[in-house]
Chains A and B, each alone.
Chain A
Amino acid sequence: MAFTPRGLEASFFEVLDQHRAFLLAALKRGGEEPAGGGMSLASSSEVLSSIEKIIQDIVTSLARNEAPAFTIDNRSSWENIKFEDSVGLHMVSHCTTRKIKSDSPKSVKNFALILKILSMIYKLVQSNTYATKRDIYYTDSQLFGNQTVVDNIINDISCMLKVPRRSLHILSTSKGLIAGDLKYLEEDGTKVNCTRATAIAVPSNIQGIQNLITDAKFLLIVEKDATFQRLLDDNFCNKMSPCIMVTGKGVPDLNTRLLVKKLWDTFHIPAFTLVDADPHGIEIMCIYKYGSMAMSFEAHNLTVPAIRWLGLLPSDIKRLNIPKGTLIPLTKRDQMKLDSILKRPYITCQPFWRKEMEIMADSKMKAEIQALTFLSSDYLSRVYLPNKLKFGGWI
């Protein structure tokens, strides 16, 4: 809504505006263009020619009587990951690689599947049509076995060709949801208005959306769908209008991350995460903010380092006197995850985060966002979030 927010005096957004100005200034200081390499949308002909080159290499090595192999950057080792405050996690330029050989019984299937999907991509790009990952899986589900195989191979190909997945003409059905003060136009000309009461699925073609319009003062990224729906039911979007809410329903998929990135790049509005006060929630927040190891090769298109941690902070648990009964003790896996997050490179430049995580480690307790309902059923939307936003309770 373009009108002044109902029930909110202008001073409400004061801190938020300051924060935004600060972010913009930081952005300017860091230079308009973040350093380092990223992937641009490659043109169809580039994709085609790089696939052709791969085929040629295979044929050549066969002609030389050598077993052909694919060389792919190793995406599962922290050694290949570099952390940069302005970008997040991204792949180092001289990373180790792994080989997928055609003559070893273990990897020959993988080799063949990569070729198979390459040929499908080739067709898709040639005919300028798009297919979802699921489509690809169903073309020969017997051969692929399961969806993860396909997903991994597509990521491998994207990494191998140095081309974002979108340029391979492969889409994925988004699981993310969006609601709030946002209007945009999808590539096929469909008008989307997220101001409606129900949430709208994140479009599957983020690069294609255009003419985004928003007056939102902030972007709230919610970890869980349950919380998201709860906030919608509480009419949070209208109460805090203008704002945008996004959820990735757990670990975000590529489209949700792309959307968050696009919203940041387009409007430079402050983005906050509302996650559970547990290691898993922190992990998800880190994925939004700094990216994940597996997709580090595309980090420049995916990470939004401006994201801040709004809640639920482990320190809030104490501050709000949430009774111990609603808390959950950390499991062994939680402990391990917490330790591994604390060891990650980005924690060094987040002293506050470290402190919060140490609080969690010390208390050995975690809390879901729903723990706040113990205080009152709409505590989250009525008290917790407005106060946090008004007084800058993010870190």
Chain B
Amino acid sequence: MIFKEDCGFFELCPFQILKYLIIYQRCETAGVSKGALLEGQLVISIEALNSKHQANTLHCVTTIAAAGSIYGGLVLKKLLEDMQSVLPGFFANLNWTSEEAGHSQDASGLRPFQMIFEADVKPRTLMTDSLVIKNFLRKIITVPPKIRFNFSVKVNGILSVEIFGAESEPALNLSNGIALVVNCQHYLSTPKFDTTELPCSRIHPVLGHPVMLFIPDDVVGMGLLGELTLTPAVALCPCPKVFSNQLNRISSISIFLYGPSGLPLIFPNSEQPTTAVFKDASYFIDWKKYRLSMVPNLDLSLDSGSVLPDVSYQVESGEGDQSHNMGPQGQTVLLFLFVDFHRGFPGQKMELWGVHTLLSAHLRAILRESHSVVQGCIQAAVAWALEQHRQAVKAHQKLQASLSVAVDSIMSIMTGSTNSSFRKTCLQTLQAADTQEFGTKLHKSFQEVTQHRFLYHCSHEVKQQLLPERNEAEQNTDKAHENGSLELLAGTGEQTENKRLKRGSLGVEETRASRSAGALSPSEAASRRAEPTAAPLTFSRSRTGPGSGLEDAGPSCSHKAALHQCPGGVKSLAPLRATLEGTYRHPGTSLLTLMGFRLEGIFPAALLPLLLTMILFLGPLMQLSMDCPCDLADGLKVVLAPRSWARCLTDMRWLRNQVIAPLTEELVFRACMLPMLAPCTGLGPAVFTCPLFFGVAHFHHIFEQLRFRQSSVGSIFLSAAFQFSYTAVFGAYTAFLFIRTGHLIGPVLCHSFCNYMGFPAVCAALEHPQRRPLLAGYALGVGLFLLLLQPLTDPKLYGSLPLCVLLERAGDSEAPLCS
């Protein structure tokens, strides 16, 4: 098909034909189901050569050809007829050869077709025209028909080809049956954003509610029938998330007008009166609400890589802050206005054609008539889009703030940690050389990880974006492993907890008792009580009654001889017998007095050693008073209350620790043992040998502990050794007291007191809140004790010492303890 064209409106012809073809295609495909949509390529090529007839003029040959199967059912003759009816003054010759050639080329039987225009035009016109055509194509493909356009211009042999097509790109189906390509590169006018680097390369159109347009009477008369609707779609470009780290300002607004079937309504180059409506920037949107003042943007160049808006406004530059606030970095509001009939197409292609022309002509009047409705609807859509933008910015700011808090916290733990292996592992995991690098890497990977998620969000459809996060509170029941270890942890925790509670429940006295040296079980206490009662009996019998083995051993032996034999061995019972004989013979040193039961000096003997011991325990006593929740008056009240005494006396443990154990132990190990040992070993060595027995006597705890396996064998023996050593020291002290005072009462009271106090809780003292005075008390106590040890136990205070008297008589006058 060849059109010979010499009409003056060359520039319009390709448009009209393209438009017609697209309308035609849409009408055809409207009946076809979507899957069978025809696809293919439309080739538009302009070949221009310097005209031979006129100087400075190009002879152009424009070819529109369909490749593939776009216009399968196209009947050329009918097309031509239709075309002639809509484009008057347009004539064509049919070139059948070309058609047949096409027919033979296509095996599928579908006829490709070709139209050729020829015209002589000025170079400048050609350039403008080709730009206009390009723009038209761009605009078409944003509301895509499934066609690719191959546009080539060849001027004097120099070829430039551009292909327009968006059929494979993601598109958002708007509810009015039209899809909108959401790839933002179509709308970005400048290549300043490298689309590959943008976190989100899409626009997210917000579809407004369609409103009915009121058609003025005069227009109705011209054949615009049916209900006309306008559907706005608003999007921000580029995606708000690109800039969301700063609250970005809107720099411009672009309005795109689409007519029925998604065809562009206004041709930017033609000075149609429709645009007059848009001269007023706030005709549709009240920008004052957003504190923006818009002015029409006249600086629109056809030669940009993006869709040229039908109308564009830009923010009026205010006080010169354009440079950093708006400028190229600002966001563009894309406003798509779809004018369409309420119920699809009004039947025939011809009518559609006419409607398009009519709409283009009367859009201004229609819009003006329905001004308030249109404004309300657009306002709402814009407001929503901006609100979304605001929310996105807020969410992003929140995310950023949270991330930096998280990173700071991790860094603070990392840098503050004293665990070097932990620090090392952290650094290694992120392959960072030092903490600073670790910090930056941490921040970066956090950004990446969350950004990824953020993008995922972004690629969703508009409406889903508004849905609340659902999988946030995700339930996870598969946690068996963790809980296993938890149980283990909890189990051990329980044990220690109960130990703690047990200790607490026994109360103060009990804890002290268990710490004390002579913690015995009641049965042992009983057996111990039996021992000393038995011992005096034998002694008294030996003294008085005949038939005793001791008595028989050798009454003829003199004390002197006996004492002299002593170093030879304690195996011989002779010294003992001699001693006992001696005591028997000298009433001044009777057995009872020898054992420390006497009245002479009993008061100082009861008080002074106790005082001395209390001085030694100055520190622990201070600690006790600090730890006691009662103050002195309360404490005294409690101590003096008959009730508390009654409680003590009925408490077996108290009786054992405070009365029976001290009495019996002192009786056996001091009263009975020392008078026998001293003559053999001398007083000094006796003081140190006697407590060894006392210490050994506490070894039975080992068996008890071993039997019940209360702790490891090592620690049992360790504690036994410890106990042995301090009981030995304590024994030495009481033995010393016994010898120096010649009374049993002193050691018994001291023993009872020490049992009550227990071994000084030095560890607790070291961690005590009032550590300093306490430790000073400890030191002072020990110091005073050492100072007063001699003077307070001076034998002169306690009358004549039976043991010393005994030893003196035996001729051992060397004993330094006796003076």
**A contact residues vs B (CB 8 Å cutoff):** 2-4, 32-34, 36-40, 48-49, 51-52, 55-56, 58-60, 62-63, 65-68, 71, 74, 93-99, 101-109, 111-113, 115-116, 118-119, 122-123, 126, 143, 162, 183-185, 187-189, 191-193, 210-213, 262, 265-268, 300-301
Segment touching A, from B90-98, B147-155, B635-643 = B635-643
Are A213 and B426 touching (Cβ within 8 A)? no
Q: Does residue B414 face the partner (Cβ distance < 8 Å to A)?
A: yes
* 754-782 of chain B: CB within 8 A of chain A: 768-770
On whether the beta carbons of B409 and A116 are closer than 8 Å, the reply is: yes
Do residues A115 and B429 form an inter-chain contact, with CB atoms below 8 A?
Answer: no
Q: With a CB–CB cut-off of 8 A, which chain A residues contact B399?
A: 105, 108
Within 8 A of A (CB), among B437-455: 442, 445-446, 448-450, 452-454
Q: Does the CB pair A38–B479 fall under 8 Å?
A: no
CA distance A111 to B402 in the complex (A): 8
Report B-chain residues with C-beta under 8 Å of the C-beta of A212: 504, 629
- Can you add 13 more A-B contacts, CB < 8 Å, to A37-B491, A106-B468, A113-B405? A4-B643, A38-B493, A39-B493, A40-B497, A52-B417, A56-B425, A62-B445, A67-B452, A99-B472, A108-B403, A112-B409, A143-B405, A162-B490
Contact of A65 among B416, B449, B493 (CB under 8 A): B449
Q: Which residues in A have their C-beta under 8 angstroms from that of B710?
A: none
- Bound CA span A48–B413, Å: 10
Whether B445 pairs with A191 at a CB distance below 8 angstroms is: no
Q: Which segment, of B374-382, B480-488, B583-591, faces chain A? A: B480-488
Q: Report yes or no: B626 in contact with A3, Cβ–Cβ below 8 A.
A: no
Contact B449–A108 (Cβ < 8 Å): no
Given contacts A93-B486, A97-B476, A108-B450, contact A59 B426 (CB under 8 A): yes
Whether A126 lies near B416 (C-beta < 8 A) is yes
Q: Would B494 and A40 count as touching, CB distance under 8 A?
A: yes
Considering the chains assembled together, what is the distance between the CA atoms of A59 and B643 in angstroms? 64
Known interface pairs A40-B496, A104-B469; A191-B628 also in contact (CB < 8 Å): yes
Would A56 and B412 count as touching, CB distance under 8 A? no
Least CB distance from A390 to B in Å reads 21
Bound CA span A369–B734, Å: 63
B406 proximity list for chain A (CB < 8 A): 102, 111-112, 115-116
B194 at the interface (CB under 8 A from A): no
- Distance, CA A184 to CA B631, complexed state (A): 11
Count residues on chain B whose CB falls below 8 Å from chain A CBs: 80
Residues of B within 8 A of A48 (CB): 417, 419
Residue B501 is within 8 A (CB to CB) of chain A in the complex: yes
- Are B429 and A56 touching (Cβ within 8 A)? yes
Query: In this complex, what residue of A is CB-closest to B495?
Result: A33
Query: Would A162 and B452 count as touching, CB distance under 8 A?
Result: no
Q: Is B419 a contact partner of A37 (Cβ separation < 8 A)? A: no
How distant is the Cα of A192 from the Cα of B473 in the complex, in angstroms?
46
Q: State whether B410 touches A193 (Cβ < 8 A).
A: no
Say whether B475 faces chain A, with CB atoms less than 8 Å apart. yes
B449 close to A62 (CB less than 8 A): yes
A-B pair count, CB < 8 Å, reads 226
Cβ-defined contact, A66 with B410, below 8 A: no
B contact residues around A96 at 8 Å (CB): 475-477, 479
Given A49-B419, A212-B629, the answer on whether A67 and B504 have CB atoms closer than 8 Å is no
Q: Which of B401, B452, B497, B644 contacts A103 (CB 8 A)?
A: B452
The answer to the question of B527 belonging to the interface, with a C-beta cut-off of 8 Å to chain A, is no
Could you tell me if A98 and B475 are in contact, using CB atoms closer than 8 angstroms?
Answer: yes
A-B contact pairs, 20 of them (CB 8 A): A3-B641, A37-B494, A65-B448, A67-B452, A93-B483, A103-B450, A106-B472, A107-B472, A108-B403, A115-B409, A118-B409, A184-B629, A187-B769, A189-B768, A191-B629, A211-B629, A212-B629, A265-B501, A300-B497, A301-B497
Please indicate the chain B residues that have their CB under 8 angstroms from the CB of A106 in the complex: 468-469, 472
A89 → chain B closest CB, angstroms:
15
Complex contacts, B418 vs chain A, CB 8 Å: 126
Which of B398, B476, B626 has most chain A Cβ within 10 Å?
A: B476
- Could you tell me the distance in whole angstroms from the C-beta of B602 to the nearest C-beta in chain A? 32
Bound Cα distance A33, B505 (Å): 13
Q: Which residue of chain B has its CB nearest to the CB of A126?
A: B416
> Within the assembled complex, what's the spacing in Å between the Cα atoms of A32 and B473?
40
- What are the residues of chain B within 8 A of A112 when measuring CB–CB? 401-403, 405-406, 409
Question: Which listed residue, B417, B425, B450, touches A102 by the CB 8 Å rule?
Answer: B450
A265 to B499, CA, bound (A): 12
- How far does the alpha carbon of A271 sit from the alpha carbon of B369 in the complex, in Å? 83
A187 to B419, CA, bound (A): 29
The 0/1 profile, CB within 8 Å of A marked 1, for residues 132-157 of chain B is 00000000000000000000000000
Query: Which B-chain residue is minimally distant from A209 (CB atoms)?
Result: B629
A108 to B453 CA separation, bound complex (whole angstroms): 12
Q: Which A-chain residue is minimally distant from B471 (CB atoms)?
A: A104
Q: Chain B residues near A185: list those with CB within 8 A.
A: 627-629
CB of A66 within 8 A of CB of B449, answer yes
Given A97-B479, A211-B629, is A36 in contact with B504 using a C-beta cutoff of 8 Å? no
Interchain CB contact under 8 A, B627 and A2: no
Per the bound structure, the CA–CA distance linking A300 and B197 in Å amounts to 56
Whole-angstrom CA separation of A48 from B416 in the bound complex = 11
Contact between B629 and A104 (Cβ–Cβ < 8 Å)? Answer: no
**Does any Cβ of A come within 8 Å of B218's Cβ?**
no
Contacts of B787 in A (CB 8 A): none
Q: For residue A51, which residues in chain B have a CB less than 8 angstroms away from its CB?
A: 413
Measured between beta carbons, the chain B residues less than 8 angstroms from A118 are: 409, 413
Nearest B-chain residue to A185, judged by Cβ: B629
B706 in the interface (beta carbon within 8 A): no
Q: Is B814 an interface residue (CB 8 A)?
A: no
Interface residues of B in 364-384 (CB under 8 A from A): none
Q: How far is the CB of B756 from chain A (nearest CB, A)?
A: 15
Instruction: Tell me whether B446 and A62 are in contact (CB under 8 A).
Output: yes
Bound complex: CA of A67 vs CA of B480, how far in Å? 22
Pick the most buried of B426, B453, B629, B768: most chain A CB atoms within 10 A of its CB: B629
Looking across the interface, which residue of chain A has its beta carbon closest to that of B404? A112
Question: Which B residues touch A2, using CB under 8 A?
Answer: 637-638, 641, 643-644
Let me know if A55 and B413 touch, CB within 8 A. Answer: yes
- Kindly list chain B residues whose C-beta atoms are within 8 Å of the C-beta of A122: 412-413, 416-417
Contacts of B495 in A (CB 8 A): 33
Chain A contacts of B426 at CB under 8 A?
Answer: 55-56, 59
**Are A108 and B494 in contact (CB-based, < 8 A)?**
no
Residues of B contacting A108 in the complex (Cβ-Cβ under 8 angstroms): 398-399, 402-403, 450
For the complex of A and B, list the 7 residue pairs with the smallest distance between their C-beta atoms, beginning with the closest: A37-B490, A40-B493, A103-B453, A183-B629, A112-B402, A119-B409, A115-B409
Distance in Å: Cβ of B490 to nearest Cβ of chain A: 2
Across-interface contacts of A38 in B (CB, < 8 A): 490, 493-494, 497
Query: Contact between B476 and A115 (Cβ–Cβ < 8 Å)?
Result: no
